[in-house]
Structure formats: C-alpha cells, structure tokens
Amino acid sequence: MISHRVTRRPERWATLLARLKHRWMLPFRAFEWLSEWVAYALSHWSFLEVLEYLGTFSVLIGVIFYFSESGDRIKQRHYQAWQVINTAQGKGGSGGRIEALQELNEDKVQLVGVDVSSAFLQGIHLEHANLLRADLSVADLRGSDFRFADFTFADLHSANFRGSNLENASFSNADLNDADLVGADLAGAKLDRADLTAADLRLTNLKDVQWKEIRSIKTANIAGVKAAPDGFIQWALQNGAVDSPSGDE
C-alpha cells in the first residue's frame, strides 16, 4: 500500500539564524533548510504520487505478462531441446542430449521414435519415459535409470545397459539382440515378444520378470541370473541360451 506523507512547513530563515550557535555551521544549515523547502514543495505535488502508483502498476503488468507468456517459453525450451537431439543424430558422444532428453521427459514430453543410436548417454535418468519405437541401438546407457520406461517396439540391439535400473520397464516387441544387460535390474520388466538373441544377461536381476512370451533367447548368456522365475532357466537353456560365467560361448 502506498503511503503519501505531506512534510511539515520549514521554519523561517530568521528563526533558524537566531538559534545558530556557530557561524561555521551556516553553509550546512542553509543547505539543509533549502532541502526542507524542496521536500515540502514536492510533498504537495500530486504528480509524484501518480508516478509512484504507475511504477507499482508497471510491476503488476510485468508479472501478468511473465505468466501469460510462460507457455511460449516452455515451447521454445522444448524446441531447443529437440534441436540438440536431432542435430546430433547418428553421432557418437553426448552432444548435450542427456540434458535435453531429461528435460523433455521431466516435462512429460513423449519421446516416441527418438533416434539416439550410437550416443553416449551413460547415467541418463528417463524414468517413466515413453520410448515407443525409439532407436537406442549401440548406445552407451551404462548405469542409467529407466524405471517404468516404455521400450515397446524399440530398437535396442547392441545397446549397453550394464548396471542400469530397468525395473518395471516394458520391452514388448523390442529388439534386444546382442544387448549388454550385465548386472542390470529387470525386476518386473515385461519381455513379451522381445528378441533377446545373443543378449548378455549375466548377473541380471530377473525377479518377477514377464518372460513366457519371449520371442527368442538363442545364444543369450544367462550365467548367474538373480531371482529368476520358476522355469525360466530351464526354458532358456532348452531354447538355445547358454550359461557361461566367463562370457565365452
């Protein structure tokens, strides 16, 4: 709330001179007296009060415009993130794609069909990401977090998921041919119609994994798998999987 205060009328100069004890203080007291008159005059000028109100109003207008344009700023941020991803398509390294993908996913943008093949995305966090038909083939995804991610129909051949958290992720109809899943957490993951040909599943956590409709597990290495569901190991070996702790088939 704006408070407008009218200042008290200054004393007469003659009255001040009469009370002045030291002559050397005269210039300072004169300056102060003139300032008091200026303040007194301005305190009666309503235009200054109007300017004060206009200043406050301009701040309010700025806040309104800031929030009204927030949608455009978000769109611009998303556009820039997609530019980073698309410009680096097919190239190695990160190229800023880790931050771009995480930002889009945090804003709940669908990553359907994104192509980050051969990219270095080690340690990326894409929990609950929609990666339907995405291409992450040959990508370095070690130590990443893909909990509850949707990899349905995704191309993940030769991708490196070592030590990654893939808990409750969906790999329905995904291509995991020759994928490195050593030490990954696949607890609760859906593998229906997934192609695990030649995949490295050593030391992988398979607790509650949905496996009965796996399309192919031929030559996949299941040595040391943890918490495998009943019947999985026997079925896998019968369908061409191998148990080779050293990794040599």
- For residue range 84-120, list pLDDT tens digits in order: 999 988 788 888 999 999 999 999 999 999 999 999 9
Q: Which two tokens stand for residue 117?
A: 């093949």
The dihedral sign for the CA sequence 107, 111, 116, 122: positive
Q: Is residue 82 part of a domain?
A: no
CATH number of the domain enclosing 136: 2.160.20.80
Q: Is residue 161 part of a domain?
A: yes
| Residue-level pLDDT at 247 | 66
Q: Is residue 212 part of a domain?
A: yes
Could you give the number of structural domains in the chain? 2
Q: Hey, which residues does 175 pair with through a beta bridge?
A: 155, 195
At 23-47, the pLDDT tens digits run: 676 676 777 767 776 776 666 665 5
70 vs 237, residue with greater confidence: 237
Are 159 and 138 contacting, i.e. CB atoms less than 8 angstroms apart? yes
247 vs 128, residue with greater confidence: 128
- Within this chain, do residues 114 and 208 fall inside the same structural domain, yes or no? yes
Q: Is residue 86 part of a domain?
A: no
Q: Is residue 6 part of a domain?
A: no
- Within this chain, do residues 95 and 160 fall inside the same structural domain, yes or no? yes
pLDDT of residue 171 exceeding 90, the answer is yes
| Residue-level pLDDT at 36 | 75
- Within this chain, do residues 135 and 28 fall inside the same structural domain, yes or no? no
Identify the domain containing residue 117 by its residue range.
91-244
Q: Which two tokens stand for residue 52?
A: 């004060």
pLDDT of residue 71 exceeding 80, the answer is no
Query: Distance (Å, rounded) from C-alpha 160 to C-alpha 119?
Result: 11
Q: Is residue 129 part of a domain?
A: yes
Q: Is residue 73 part of a domain?
A: no
- Within this chain, do residues 107 and 217 fall inside the same structural domain, yes or no? yes
- Within this chain, do residues 181 and 228 fall inside the same structural domain, yes or no? yes
By C-alpha distance, which of 191, 196, 192 is closest to 166?
191
Q: Is residue 109 part of a domain?
A: yes
Query: Distance (Å, rounded) from C-alpha 246 to C-alpha 223?
Result: 9
- Within this chain, do residues 128 and 191 fall inside the same structural domain, yes or no? yes
Residues 6+ apart with CB under 8 A from 42: 48
- Within this chain, do residues 118 and 56 fall inside the same structural domain, yes or no? no
pLDDT of residue 11 exceeding 90, the answer is no
| Residue-level pLDDT at 70 | 58
pLDDT of residue 2 exceeding 70, the answer is no
- Within this chain, do residues 119 and 236 fall inside the same structural domain, yes or no? yes
- Within this chain, do residues 115 and 237 fall inside the same structural domain, yes or no? yes
Q: How confident is the model at residue 180 (pLDDT cuts 50, 70, 90)?
A: very high
| Residue-level pLDDT at 157 | 98
Query: Distance (Å, rounded) from C-alpha 166 to C-alpha 190?
Result: 10
- Within this chain, do residues 118 and 231 fall inside the same structural domain, yes or no? yes
Residue whose entry in the numeric block shows the structure tokens 């009255």: 15
Distance from CA of residue 178 to its chain's centroid?
30
- Within this chain, do residues 56 and 96 fall inside the same structural domain, yes or no? no
- Within this chain, do residues 122 and 62 fall inside the same structural domain, yes or no? no
